[in-house]
């Protein structure tokens, strides 16, 4: 062994002195001998092997989960709008409402908006294919793909759900807000609009702050008991049709509670879904 050390030329020793070992343990494991030169060479060769790099790639992939894709349905005055705000605020999802998209497309003068406006001016319902394309285009935008989405009040029929599925859009969860019909009627009939600020009040649950505001409040023409019942009937039929498409991923939330209690139910379901996603890949690495 002594002869071996004496035979080492200055050049290999200089190489060993200049290298930066990966860790203190690796530095102490090498001696200035002929064998150490070969060991260093073997270590460098192994570090380039895909078998060492691959686990790091797998761990990174496992930590990145797919964004949430949620649909929510609720009757008029079910509190759906409030829950959408709470969900998007906490989870950063893109809130997509078919009604808002329709109004925006018409205002922009797009082809879909122009076609939709023609039907609306004739007092006709906007055909499914027009609205479906609007929703499809919005779901396909980069912010929706990267952050996930919350589709509000859509689809409303089995045909619309089928069309979305055909485009490759499948939700992780379908949330249904359930509120007794008599409570919904009371909420609808008592709603009032401030034409100055656009704020919505309720004569019982959220009355106006001053007499001046109360004096100028107006009621929507369709916020009557008769028309509210007709809208509820249509909504209930639509929900039954859609539920058949998403029965295995549907959760029903009791909506006749405070907004905080309702959101707590939704939040629990979404958190559980995320937890399942984050823990499932770990079994692949064990």
Q: Which residues are part of the catalytic machinery?
A: 80, 156, 191, 220, 231
Cα dist from 115 to 87, 104, 109, 110, 211, whole Å: 32, 13, 10, 9, 44
Distance (Å, rounded) from C-alpha 144 to C-alpha 270? Answer: 17
Beta strand 191-193 with 200-202 is antiparallel
Distance (Å, rounded) from C-alpha 207 to C-alpha 45? Answer: 76
Q: Which helix (H) or strand (E) holds 151?
A: strand 149-152
Distance (Å, rounded) from C-alpha 84 to C-alpha 249? Answer: 18
Q: Which long-range contacts (CB under 8 A, 24 or more apart) does 204-212 make?
A: none
Distance (Å, rounded) from C-alpha 188 to C-alpha 200? Answer: 11
């Amino acid at each position: 062994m002594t002869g071996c050390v004496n035979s080492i030329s200055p050049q290999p020793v200089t190489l060993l002195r200049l290298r930066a070992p990966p860790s203190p343990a690796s530095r102490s494991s090498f001696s200035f001998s002929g064998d150490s030169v070969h060991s260093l060479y073997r270590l460098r060769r192994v570090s380039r092997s895909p078998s060492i790099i691959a686990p790091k790639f797998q761990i990174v992939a496992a930590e990145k989960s797919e964004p949430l894709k949620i649909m929510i349905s609720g009757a008029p005055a079910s509190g759906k709008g409030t829950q959408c705000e709470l969900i998007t605020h906490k989870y950063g999802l893109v809130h997509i409402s078919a009604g808002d998209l329709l109004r925006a497309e018409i205002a922009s003068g797009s082809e879909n908006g122009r076609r939709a406006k023609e039907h609306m001016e004739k007092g006709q319902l906007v055909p499914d294919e027009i609205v479906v394309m609007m929703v499809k285009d919005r779901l396909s935008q980069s912010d929706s793909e990267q952050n996930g989405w919350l589709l509000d009040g859509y689809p409303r029929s089995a045909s619309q759900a089928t069309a979305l599925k055909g485009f490759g859009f499948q939700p992780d969860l379908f949330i249904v807000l359930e509120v007794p019909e008599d409570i919904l009627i009371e909420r609808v009939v008592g709603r009032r609009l401030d034409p100055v600020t656009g704020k919505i009040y309720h004569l019982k649950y959220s009355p106006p702050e001053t007499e001046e505001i109360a004096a100028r409040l107006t009621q929507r023409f369709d916020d009557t008991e008769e028309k509210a019942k007709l809208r509820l009937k249509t909504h209930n039929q639509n929900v039954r049709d859609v539920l058949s498409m998403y029965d295995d991923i549907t959760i029903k939330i009791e909506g006749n509670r405070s907004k905080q209690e309702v959101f707590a139910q939704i939040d629990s379901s979404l958190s559980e879904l995320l937890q399942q996603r984050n823990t499932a890949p770990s079994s692949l690495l064990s």
